Amino acid sequence: MQIMELHVCGRKSFARKRRNIKDQTGRTPCRAEFFIETRMKSDGNFVSDKAKKSADELTPLLNKDSSTQVSSNVTATLNDAYSRVFGPECSGRVRCLGRGPTPSKLIKRSTAVVRLEADNAEVLQMKTKMTSLENQVQSLTGIIQQLLSTKPSDQASEFAAYANILNPQVCKGKGDGVSKDQNNNINHDS
């Protein structure tokens, strides 16, 4: 059984209408936004009472979803506002997306989007941890350089060898600042 809903697209395909909306707003509309946009006449009235009733049900769900939605370019998911009002998709085509997408593609894309969001969150967490570690390394480098400048030169060169940090004042005229004995000690300690 096919559900017939009136819309105001005329002969223009849903894909072209969706592209026009994207050009106007700067983002791809979700199915609920697209449903409301294609059922509302230019004077602000809806094409039917049924369409108005459906739009009234979709609007609060859209407002709630927009505050929690992570990605604004996701056009359809398994549990979006549209599917909560109109029910789950049957086999065939996904409503309000045109002739291309099928429910199986929607499921694959939904799992890919969830995986992508999880990966993005993990990358963000790793970046913050890396920044924290870089700050720790900088502060420890400063502490080591302070220690090197306050210790006698023999201890300073030993600290420099272990820390792999060269103090320019200590290393003048000494090559790399580490003697052969110290290199042997470092290699044996490792």
pLDDT tens digits, 89-128? 777 777 777 677 777 776 666 677 778 888 999 999 999 9
Rounded Cα distance, 115 and 91, in Å: 24
Domain co-membership, 27 together with 87: yes
Pick the last residue of a domain from 51, 83, 101.
101
- pLDDT of 170 reads 45
Q: What is the domain count for the chain?
A: 2
In a domain, 107, yes or no: no
As a whole number of Å, the end-to-end CA separation of the chain is 75
- pLDDT of 162 reads 63
In a domain, 122, yes or no: no
Tokens standing for residue 82: 């549209």
Q: Please, which residues bridge with residue 40 across strands?
A: 46
Domain co-membership, 149 together with 94: no
pTM for the predicted model, two decimal places: 0.50
Domain co-membership, 78 together with 142: no
- Residue 123 is given by DSSP the state H
3-state secondary structure of 46: strand
Q: Give me Rg for the CA atoms of the chain.
A: 32
3-state secondary structure of 157: helix
Tokens standing for residue 131: 């920044």
- pLDDT of 174 reads 47
CB proximity list for 17: less than 8 A, separation 6 or greater: 9, 34, 37, 38
Domain co-membership, 91 together with 143: no
Residue 32: domain span: 14-101
- pLDDT of 71 reads 47
- pLDDT of 186 reads 46
Ranges of residues in the chain with a pLDDT under 70 are 1-3, 65-78, 98, 106-110, 151-190
Tell me the one-letter amino acid at 22.
K
